[in-house]
Amino acid sequence: MSIRFDDRVAIVTGAGNGLGRTHALGLAARGARVVVNDLGGARDGTGGSLSAAETVVEEIQAAGGEAIANGANVTKWDEVQAMVAAAMGKWGRVDILVNNAGILRDKTFLKMELADFQSVVEVHLMGSVNCTKAVWEIMREQNYGRIAMTTSSSGLYGNFGQANYGAAKLGLVGFMNTLHLEGAKYDIRINALSPVAGTRMTEDLMPQEVIDVMTPESVSAGLIYLVSEDGPRRTILAAGAGGYACARITETKGIWLAPDEQTPENVAAGWDTIMDAEGAEEYTMGGQQSMKFLQEASKGLGIELKR
Protein backbone atom coordinates (compact mmCIF):
# COMPACT_ATOMS: atom_id res chain seq x y z
CA MET A 1 0.00 0.00 0.00
CA SER A 2 1.36 3.38 -1.02
CA ILE A 3 0.01 6.38 0.89
CA ARG A 4 -0.48 9.41 -1.34
CA PHE A 5 -2.08 12.85 -0.96
CA ASP A 6 -2.39 13.95 -4.58
CA ASP A 7 -4.91 16.81 -4.96
CA ARG A 8 -5.23 17.06 -1.16
CA VAL A 9 -4.59 20.32 0.70
CA ALA A 10 -3.01 20.27 4.14
CA ILE A 11 -2.48 22.94 6.79
CA VAL A 12 0.31 22.23 9.25
CA THR A 13 0.71 24.64 12.16
CA GLY A 14 4.07 25.23 13.82
CA ALA A 15 5.69 23.87 10.66
CA GLY A 16 8.80 26.03 10.54
CA ASN A 17 10.91 23.70 12.68
CA GLY A 18 11.04 20.26 14.28
CA LEU A 19 8.06 17.97 13.96
CA GLY A 20 5.92 20.47 12.08
CA ARG A 21 8.62 20.85 9.45
CA THR A 22 8.97 17.09 8.88
CA HIS A 23 5.18 16.71 8.87
CA ALA A 24 4.94 19.34 6.13
CA LEU A 25 7.83 17.95 4.10
CA GLY A 26 6.48 14.40 4.38
CA LEU A 27 2.98 15.38 3.25
CA ALA A 28 4.34 17.42 0.36
CA ALA A 29 6.62 14.58 -0.75
CA ARG A 30 3.51 12.42 -1.10
CA GLY A 31 1.64 14.92 -3.22
CA ALA A 32 -0.12 17.23 -0.78
CA ARG A 33 -0.30 20.98 -1.29
CA VAL A 34 0.75 22.44 2.03
CA VAL A 35 0.11 25.61 3.99
CA VAL A 36 3.25 25.91 6.11
CA ASN A 37 2.15 27.89 9.14
CA ASP A 38 4.62 29.20 11.67
CA LEU A 39 4.63 32.29 13.85
CA GLY A 40 8.41 32.04 13.99
CA GLY A 41 8.69 32.59 17.73
CA ALA A 42 11.00 31.18 20.37
CA ARG A 43 10.19 28.04 22.39
CA ASP A 44 8.29 30.11 24.92
CA GLY A 45 6.21 31.74 22.18
CA THR A 46 7.88 35.15 22.22
CA GLY A 47 8.92 36.92 19.06
CA GLY A 48 7.88 36.11 15.52
CA SER A 49 9.15 35.89 11.95
CA LEU A 50 7.86 34.28 8.75
CA SER A 51 11.37 33.23 7.67
CA ALA A 52 11.19 29.69 9.14
CA ALA A 53 7.96 28.93 7.27
CA GLU A 54 9.35 30.43 4.07
CA THR A 55 12.44 28.24 4.32
CA VAL A 56 10.27 25.11 4.53
CA VAL A 57 8.20 26.30 1.56
CA GLU A 58 11.42 26.72 -0.43
CA GLU A 59 12.43 23.14 0.45
CA ILE A 60 9.06 21.82 -0.71
CA GLN A 61 9.15 23.82 -3.95
CA ALA A 62 12.74 22.77 -4.67
CA ALA A 63 11.58 19.15 -4.49
CA GLY A 64 8.77 19.86 -6.97
CA GLY A 65 5.94 20.34 -4.50
CA GLU A 66 3.42 23.12 -3.88
CA ALA A 67 3.31 25.15 -0.68
CA ILE A 68 2.62 28.59 0.71
CA ALA A 69 3.93 30.18 3.90
CA ASN A 70 1.67 31.63 6.56
CA GLY A 71 2.53 33.44 9.78
CA ALA A 72 -0.83 33.32 11.56
CA ASN A 73 -0.82 33.23 15.34
CA VAL A 74 -3.09 30.27 16.12
CA THR A 75 -4.44 32.02 19.22
CA LYS A 76 -5.87 34.84 17.09
CA TRP A 77 -9.16 33.86 15.44
CA ASP A 78 -9.02 36.50 12.71
CA GLU A 79 -5.53 35.42 11.65
CA VAL A 80 -6.56 31.75 11.59
CA GLN A 81 -9.60 32.58 9.46
CA ALA A 82 -7.36 34.50 7.05
CA MET A 83 -4.99 31.51 6.84
CA VAL A 84 -7.80 29.14 5.91
CA ALA A 85 -9.18 31.70 3.43
CA ALA A 86 -5.74 31.85 1.79
CA ALA A 87 -5.72 28.07 1.37
CA MET A 88 -9.23 28.12 -0.08
CA GLY A 89 -8.36 30.99 -2.40
CA LYS A 90 -5.24 29.22 -3.65
CA TRP A 91 -6.49 25.63 -3.93
CA GLY A 92 -10.24 25.63 -3.25
CA ARG A 93 -10.32 23.08 -0.43
CA VAL A 94 -8.77 21.97 2.87
CA ASP A 95 -8.53 18.22 3.45
CA ILE A 96 -6.02 17.89 6.27
CA LEU A 97 -5.27 19.90 9.41
CA VAL A 98 -2.30 19.08 11.60
CA ASN A 99 -2.51 20.98 14.89
CA ASN A 100 1.14 21.02 15.85
CA ALA A 101 1.93 24.57 17.03
CA GLY A 102 3.06 24.76 20.63
CA ILE A 103 5.18 26.53 23.24
CA LEU A 104 6.83 25.59 26.53
CA ARG A 105 6.89 27.58 29.76
CA ASP A 106 8.00 24.97 32.26
CA LYS A 107 8.05 25.59 36.02
CA THR A 108 6.72 23.84 39.06
CA PHE A 109 3.11 24.76 39.72
CA LEU A 110 4.17 26.53 42.94
CA LYS A 111 6.44 28.91 41.03
CA MET A 112 4.41 29.18 37.82
CA GLU A 113 2.73 32.49 37.04
CA LEU A 114 -0.89 32.07 36.02
CA ALA A 115 -0.10 34.03 32.85
CA ASP A 116 2.32 31.27 31.83
CA PHE A 117 -0.33 28.63 32.50
CA GLN A 118 -2.84 30.57 30.42
CA SER A 119 -0.42 31.17 27.55
CA VAL A 120 0.40 27.47 27.14
CA VAL A 121 -3.27 26.48 27.25
CA GLU A 122 -4.09 29.23 24.74
CA VAL A 123 -1.53 28.03 22.18
CA HIS A 124 -1.91 24.26 22.48
CA LEU A 125 -5.60 23.88 23.27
CA MET A 126 -7.32 27.03 22.03
CA GLY A 127 -4.96 27.28 19.05
CA SER A 128 -6.09 23.82 17.99
CA VAL A 129 -9.72 24.77 18.65
CA ASN A 130 -9.40 27.89 16.48
CA CYS A 131 -7.81 26.07 13.56
CA THR A 132 -10.27 23.19 13.75
CA LYS A 133 -13.25 25.54 13.94
CA ALA A 134 -12.00 27.40 10.87
CA VAL A 135 -11.88 24.24 8.70
CA TRP A 136 -14.79 22.30 10.21
CA GLU A 137 -17.60 23.55 7.96
CA ILE A 138 -15.37 23.20 4.89
CA MET A 139 -14.72 19.56 5.73
CA ARG A 140 -18.39 18.89 6.46
CA GLU A 141 -19.40 20.29 3.06
CA GLN A 142 -16.70 18.20 1.37
CA ASN A 143 -17.72 15.09 3.31
CA TYR A 144 -14.04 14.58 3.93
CA GLY A 145 -11.50 15.71 6.49
CA ARG A 146 -8.51 14.45 8.42
CA ILE A 147 -7.47 16.27 11.61
CA ALA A 148 -4.58 15.45 13.92
CA MET A 149 -4.19 16.85 17.42
CA THR A 150 -0.79 16.78 19.09
CA THR A 151 -1.09 15.42 22.60
CA SER A 152 1.79 14.35 24.87
CA SER A 153 2.88 11.84 27.47
CA SER A 154 2.90 14.85 29.80
CA GLY A 155 -0.86 15.06 29.40
CA LEU A 156 -1.50 11.32 29.37
CA TYR A 157 0.73 10.47 32.33
CA GLY A 158 2.08 13.70 33.87
CA ASN A 159 5.52 15.30 33.87
CA PHE A 160 7.18 17.29 36.64
CA GLY A 161 7.13 21.04 35.96
CA GLN A 162 4.58 20.85 33.14
CA ALA A 163 1.18 21.35 34.77
CA ASN A 164 0.23 23.90 32.11
CA TYR A 165 1.46 21.79 29.19
CA GLY A 166 -0.05 18.57 30.55
CA ALA A 167 -3.45 20.17 31.15
CA ALA A 168 -3.56 21.52 27.60
CA LYS A 169 -2.40 18.27 26.04
CA LEU A 170 -4.94 16.08 27.79
CA GLY A 171 -7.62 18.63 26.93
CA LEU A 172 -6.90 17.88 23.28
CA VAL A 173 -7.77 14.22 23.85
CA GLY A 174 -11.20 15.20 25.16
CA PHE A 175 -11.60 17.55 22.19
CA MET A 176 -10.73 14.71 19.81
CA ASN A 177 -13.17 12.29 21.43
CA THR A 178 -16.16 14.59 20.97
CA LEU A 179 -15.22 15.76 17.47
CA HIS A 180 -14.97 12.10 16.46
CA LEU A 181 -18.65 11.65 17.34
CA GLU A 182 -19.75 14.85 15.60
CA GLY A 183 -17.68 14.40 12.45
CA ALA A 184 -18.03 10.67 11.78
CA LYS A 185 -20.98 10.87 9.38
CA TYR A 186 -19.09 13.42 7.27
CA ASP A 187 -15.98 11.21 7.07
CA ILE A 188 -14.03 13.64 9.21
CA ARG A 189 -11.52 11.50 11.07
CA ILE A 190 -9.86 12.88 14.19
CA ASN A 191 -6.78 11.38 15.80
CA ALA A 192 -4.06 12.44 18.23
CA LEU A 193 -0.31 12.04 18.00
CA SER A 194 1.76 11.66 21.19
CA PRO A 195 5.31 12.27 19.95
CA VAL A 196 8.77 11.89 21.38
CA ALA A 197 11.45 13.44 19.19
CA GLY A 198 14.74 15.27 19.38
CA THR A 199 13.64 18.82 18.59
CA ARG A 200 14.34 22.23 20.09
CA MET A 201 11.51 21.45 22.54
CA THR A 202 13.52 18.50 23.97
CA GLU A 203 17.13 19.47 23.25
CA ASP A 204 17.83 20.47 26.86
CA LEU A 205 16.30 17.31 28.34
CA MET A 206 18.21 14.42 26.73
CA PRO A 207 21.81 13.47 25.84
CA GLN A 208 22.79 13.90 22.20
CA GLU A 209 23.24 10.19 21.49
CA VAL A 210 19.61 9.60 22.48
CA ILE A 211 18.35 12.57 20.50
CA ASP A 212 20.15 11.24 17.43
CA VAL A 213 17.80 8.24 17.18
CA MET A 214 14.68 10.18 18.18
CA THR A 215 14.25 11.80 14.81
CA PRO A 216 11.28 13.98 13.90
CA GLU A 217 11.01 11.95 10.69
CA SER A 218 10.25 8.78 12.65
CA VAL A 219 7.34 10.54 14.34
CA SER A 220 6.08 12.06 11.10
CA ALA A 221 5.75 8.57 9.61
CA GLY A 222 3.03 7.90 12.17
CA LEU A 223 1.39 11.30 11.67
CA ILE A 224 1.20 10.82 7.92
CA TYR A 225 -0.66 7.54 8.38
CA LEU A 226 -3.08 9.16 10.86
CA VAL A 227 -4.16 11.77 8.28
CA SER A 228 -4.26 9.42 5.30
CA GLU A 229 -7.45 8.47 3.49
CA ASP A 230 -7.58 5.06 5.17
CA GLY A 231 -6.29 6.32 8.51
CA PRO A 232 -7.91 5.39 11.83
CA ARG A 233 -10.43 7.28 13.93
CA ARG A 234 -10.23 8.46 17.55
CA THR A 235 -6.78 6.97 18.10
CA ILE A 236 -3.93 8.19 20.29
CA LEU A 237 -0.76 7.13 18.49
CA ALA A 238 2.42 7.30 20.53
CA ALA A 239 5.54 7.55 18.36
CA GLY A 240 9.25 7.98 18.98
CA ALA A 241 12.65 6.54 18.01
CA GLY A 242 10.99 4.11 15.61
CA GLY A 243 8.48 2.86 18.17
CA TYR A 244 4.72 3.11 17.56
CA ALA A 245 2.03 2.26 20.11
CA CYS A 246 -1.59 3.04 20.93
CA ALA A 247 -2.49 4.75 24.22
CA ARG A 248 -5.99 4.05 25.56
CA ILE A 249 -8.14 5.32 28.40
CA THR A 250 -9.97 2.39 29.96
CA GLU A 251 -12.38 1.98 32.85
CA THR A 252 -12.46 -0.95 35.26
CA LYS A 253 -15.59 -2.96 35.89
CA GLY A 254 -15.60 -1.65 39.47
CA ILE A 255 -18.16 -2.42 42.15
CA TRP A 256 -21.79 -1.62 42.92
CA LEU A 257 -23.03 -0.70 46.39
CA ALA A 258 -26.65 -0.76 47.49
CA PRO A 259 -28.08 2.58 48.72
CA ASP A 260 -27.62 1.65 52.39
CA GLU A 261 -24.02 0.54 51.70
CA GLN A 262 -22.81 3.68 49.92
CA THR A 263 -20.30 4.88 52.50
CA PRO A 264 -16.67 5.98 52.21
CA GLU A 265 -15.74 2.95 54.33
CA ASN A 266 -17.30 0.54 51.84
CA VAL A 267 -15.60 2.32 48.95
CA ALA A 268 -12.33 1.81 50.81
CA ALA A 269 -13.17 -1.84 51.49
CA GLY A 270 -13.84 -2.43 47.80
CA TRP A 271 -10.80 -0.53 46.58
CA ASP A 272 -8.85 -3.56 45.33
CA THR A 273 -11.82 -4.60 43.18
CA ILE A 274 -12.32 -1.05 41.95
CA MET A 275 -8.68 -0.99 40.83
CA ASP A 276 -8.69 -4.49 39.29
CA ALA A 277 -7.84 -4.09 35.59
CA GLU A 278 -9.36 -7.43 34.56
CA GLY A 279 -12.37 -6.78 32.35
CA ALA A 280 -11.52 -3.08 31.90
CA GLU A 281 -13.13 -1.52 28.82
CA GLU A 282 -12.42 1.35 26.47
CA TYR A 283 -15.50 3.51 25.95
CA THR A 284 -16.19 5.61 22.88
CA MET A 285 -18.73 8.00 24.44
CA GLY A 286 -19.55 9.22 27.94
CA GLY A 287 -22.99 7.64 27.98
CA GLN A 288 -21.44 4.17 28.07
CA GLN A 289 -20.12 4.86 31.55
CA SER A 290 -23.55 6.00 32.71
CA MET A 291 -25.17 2.91 31.22
CA LYS A 292 -22.70 0.63 32.96
CA PHE A 293 -23.56 2.06 36.37
CA LEU A 294 -27.28 2.05 35.62
CA GLN A 295 -27.16 -1.58 34.55
CA GLU A 296 -25.30 -2.59 37.69
CA ALA A 297 -27.75 -0.64 39.83
CA SER A 298 -30.75 -2.18 38.11
CA LYS A 299 -29.39 -5.67 38.67
CA GLY A 300 -28.65 -4.94 42.31
CA LEU A 301 -32.07 -3.43 42.93
CA GLY A 302 -34.00 -5.95 40.83
CA ILE A 303 -35.30 -3.26 38.47
CA GLU A 304 -35.77 -3.93 34.74
CA LEU A 305 -34.33 -1.18 32.54
CA LYS A 306 -36.63 0.16 29.81
CA ARG A 307 -35.38 -0.32 26.29
Q: Where are the domains of the chain?
A: 9-247, 259-301
Dihedral Cα 113, 117, 123, 127, nearest 10 deg: -140
Q: Give the pairing of strands 188-196 and 9-12.
A: unpaired
DSSP for 268-299 reads: HHTHHHHH--TT-B--SSHHHHHHHHHHHHHH
The model's pTM is 0.93
Q: Write down the pLDDT at residue 210.
A: 72
What is the distance between the alpha carbons of residues 15 and 100, in angstroms, rounded to a whole number? 7
**Residue 193 near residue 226 (C-beta atoms within 8 A):** yes
What is the distance between the alpha carbons of residues 34 and 197, in angstroms, rounded to a whole number? 22
Q: Write down the pLDDT at residue 272.
A: 98
Blockwise average pLDDT, block size 10, the chain, 307 residues: 96 96 98 96 59 96 98 98 98 98 97 98 98 99 98 94 97 98 98 81 67 89 98 97 96 97 98 98 94 91 80
**Residue 71 near residue 40 (C-beta atoms within 8 A):** yes
Q: Domain 9-247 carries which CATH code?
A: 3.40.50.720
Q: In Å, what is the CA distance from 131 to each residue of 8, 153, 209?
A: 17, 23, 36
**Residue 60 near residue 24 (C-beta atoms within 8 A):** yes
What is the distance between the alpha carbons of residues 216 and 199, in angstroms, rounded to a whole number? 7
Q: Write down the pLDDT at residue 24.
A: 98
Kindly list the catalytic residues: 165
Q: Write down the pLDDT at residue 64.
A: 98
